[in-house]
Amino acid sequence: MSDQQILQLPLKVEVKFPLADGRTLVQGPLTYNSDGLATRHNCDFIKDPAFAAAYRVGASGGRADLHIEWRVHVALWVAGQAAQLEGDFVECGVNTGILSGAIMSALDFSKWPDRKFYLLDTFAGIPEEQITAAERTAGVSGMNRKYQDSDLYAAVQQKFAPWPSAVVVRGRVPDTLSAIKSTRVSYASIDMNVVEPEIAAGEFLWPLLVPGGFVLLDDYGWAAHVNQKHAWDEFARRHGISILALPTGQGLWMKPR
């Protein structure tokens, strides 16, 4: 049967709102439909020139087809709160630096020469030996194609050169965590797509995090990253914290005050 014949089948799906139980579910007009999130809620932040400028900086050198505005909006809010505390910033899993580039630009990091922003990545993708069988089954290995660009390290060094407090660290987490010389951290973004280095980073950062310091988990709610969700939930139980699941797929936790 050809595709055209399939389309001609008398398929009629009709959903009447409200549903019998009174729910209306999401109906258009949608204000945002990108990156796994469709909503009719207000997202005027996208039109804010300051947001747009920071987003442009973050997105520079990255994939033009990627629209992760709401995730960046969340990261900017978290970073803005963390900036009111004493402490350095850390990102484990930087790639082209969308989140961290947007943050350094929006918060104007050049005004804080003493506040370091550590940027850790292999700049060569996820180490194969860190990908478990369960993660392989979930499709994590396939993601590596996007992260293995031989020019990436040089490009990221150049992108962050305007901010002297940016410390770009190339290598495998957890081996490189000792490059973080901070005694206090108020913001950490963890985005490495696999359990092993993420939880190692979480354990390393735990004693350094100041009370009220934030950790933003990029992959927490994404279906392909459910192994990370389970590992972070276990981490949360161990440390007596809870993780906020955000509709962007991110997770957020705070070191208790």
List residues near ligand SAM by CB under 6 A.
93-99, 120-122, 125-127, 130, 147, 172-173, 191-194, 197, 218
Closer to ligand SAM at the Cβ: 30 or 144? 144
**Going along 163-233, which residue ranges are E strands?**
166-170, 185-190, 209-217
Please tell me the distance from the alpha carbon of residue 7 to that of residue 23, in angstroms, as a whole number.
Answer: 30
Which amino acid is located at 12 in the chain? K
Closer to ligand SAM at the Cβ: 90 or 126? 126
Minimum CB–partner distance for residue 105 and ligand SAM (Å): 13
Element (H, E) at 98: helix 98-106
Please tell me the distance from the alpha carbon of residue 55 to that of residue 105, in angstroms, as a whole number.
Answer: 9
Please tell me the distance from the alpha carbon of residue 198 to that of residue 92, in angstroms, as a whole number.
Answer: 8
Closer to ligand SAM at the Cβ: 26 or 134? 134
Closer to ligand SAM at the Cβ: 81 or 141? 141
Q: What is the DSSP letter of 115?
A: S
Minimum CB–partner distance for residue 154 and ligand SAM (Å): 14
Q: Which tokens is 149 given?
A: 């660009």
Minimum CB–partner distance for residue 118 and ligand SAM (Å): 12
Closer to ligand SAM at the Cβ: 99 or 209? 99
Minimum CB–partner distance for residue 122 and ligand SAM (Å): 4
Minimum CB–partner distance for residue 192 and ligand SAM (Å): 4
The Cβ of residue 145 has, within 10 Å, a number of other Cβ atoms equal to: 9
Closer to ligand SAM at the Cβ: 114 or 128? 128
221 neighbors 249 (Cβ within 8 angstroms): yes
47: phi then psi, degrees, rounded to nearest 5:
-85, -10
Minimum CB–partner distance for residue 60 and ligand SAM (Å): 11
